[in-house]
Structure 1
Amino acid sequence: MIRPRMADVAARAGVSEKTVSNLLNGYPHISEATRHKVESAIAELGYRPNLGARNMGRGRTGFIAFAVPSLGNPHFAELAGRVIHAAKQHHWTVLIEETGGEETSEDELVRALPYVVDGVILHPESLTMTDIEERGRDTPIVLLGERGLERVADRVVADNISAAAEMTEHLLDTGRRRIATVGIRADAELQASRFRDEGVRRALERRGIDYPDELQIEIPDYSRASGAAAARALADLDPRPDAVLCFNAGVAAGMLSGLHELDIRVPRDLAVAGFDDVDEAEFMAPPLTTIAWDIEGIAESAVRLLAERYDDPSLPTRDVTVTHALRIRASTAASPGWA
Structure 2
Amino acid sequence: MGVSLKDVAQRAGVSVKTVSNVVNDYPHIRPETRSRVQQAIEELGYRPNLTARHLRKGRTGIITLAVPELANPYFADLAGAVIDAAAQHDHTVLLDHTAGLREKEVLVSRGFRSHIIDGLILSPIQLENEDLLDRQEGPPLVLLGEREYTAPYDHVAIDNVEAARVAVRHLLDLGRRRIAFLGARHESARQPAHLRLRGWREEIRAAGGAPRESMVVATEGYDRRDGAAAISELLARGELPDALFCYNDLIALGAMRVLSEHGLRVPEDVAVVGFDDIEEGRYAAVSLTTVAPDKTAIARFAVDRLVERITAGKDAESWHSRRFVPSHRLVVRESTTGRGGGPPATGGPTQGRGDVVAGRAVPPAGT
1:259 matched to 2:259? The reply is: yes
Instruction: For 1:195 and 1:149, locate their aligned partners in 2 and report how far apart those are by CA, in whole Å.
Output: 14
AA matched with 2:75? F
Instruction: For 1:147 and 1:68, locate their aligned partners in 2 and report how far apart those are by CA, in whole Å.
Output: 14
When normalised by structure 1's length, the TM-score is 0.77
* 1:52 aligned partner: none
The two structures, once aligned, show a CA RMSD in angstroms of 2.2
* 2:98 aligned partner: 99
Instruction: For 2:212 and 2:150, locate their aligned partners in 1 and report how far apart those are by CA, in whole Å.
Output: 29
Contact 1:133 1:153 in 2 (8 A): no
Change (3 A) 1:120 1:98: same
Contact 2:182 2:231 in 1 (8 A): no
1:332 matched to 2:360? The reply is: no
AA matched with 1:71? L
Change (3 A) 1:136 1:119: farther
**Aligned residue-pair number:** 281
Deviation track 1:45-87 (CA, whole Å, cap 9, x = no partner) reads: xxxxxxxxxx999811221111111122211111111111111
Aligned ranges for residues 284-295 of structure 1 at < 5 Å?
Answer: 284-295=284-295
Instruction: For 1:123 and 1:142, locate their aligned partners in 2 and report how far apart those are by CA, in whole Å.
Output: 9
* 2:203 aligned partner: 203
User: Where in structure 2 are there 5+ consecutive unaligned residues?
Assistant: 1-53, 340-367
AA matched with 1:328? V
Percent sequence identity is 40
Instruction: For 2:181 and 2:281, locate their aligned partners in 1 and report how far apart those are by CA, in whole Å.
Output: 18
Contact 2:266 2:286 in 1 (8 A): yes
Instruction: For 1:287 and 1:135, locate their aligned partners in 2 and report how far apart those are by CA, in whole Å.
Output: 44
AA matched with 2:69? S
1:184 matched to 2:188? The reply is: no
Change (3 A) 1:161 1:173: same
| Alignment match of 1:319 (pick from 287, 304, 323) | 323
Instruction: For 2:200 and 2:83, locate their aligned partners in 1 and report how far apart those are by CA, in whole Å.
Output: 33
* 2:84 aligned partner: 85
> How many Å apart are 1:239 and its aligned residue?
3.6
Aligned with 1:146: secondary structure? coil
**Deviation >4 Å, runs of 4+:** 55-58
> How many Å apart are 1:190 and its aligned residue?
4.0
Larger Rg, first or second structure (1 or 2): 2
Instruction: For 1:87 and 1:264, locate their aligned partners in 2 and report how far apart those are by CA, in whole Å.
Output: 45
AA matched with 1:92? H
> How many Å apart are 1:117 and its aligned residue?
1.4
> How many Å apart are 1:136 and its aligned residue?
6.7
* 2:69 aligned partner: 70
* 1:32 aligned partner: none
AA matched with 1:60? R
Instruction: For 1:218 and 1:72, locate their aligned partners in 2 and report how far apart those are by CA, in whole Å.
Output: 21
1:246 matched to 2:246? The reply is: yes
User: Where in structure 1 are there 5+ consecutive unaligned residues?
Assistant: 1-54
Aligned with 1:290: secondary structure? strand
Contact 2:147 2:192 in 1 (8 A): no
Aligned with 2:114: secondary structure? helix
When normalised by structure 2's length, the TM-score is 0.72
> How many Å apart are 1:133 and its aligned residue?
3.3
> RCO higher in 1 or 2 (8 Å CA, sep ≥ 6)?
1
Contact 1:204 1:210 in 2 (8 A): yes
Aligned with 2:286: secondary structure? coil
Contact 2:286 2:334 in 1 (8 A): yes
AA matched with 2:77? E
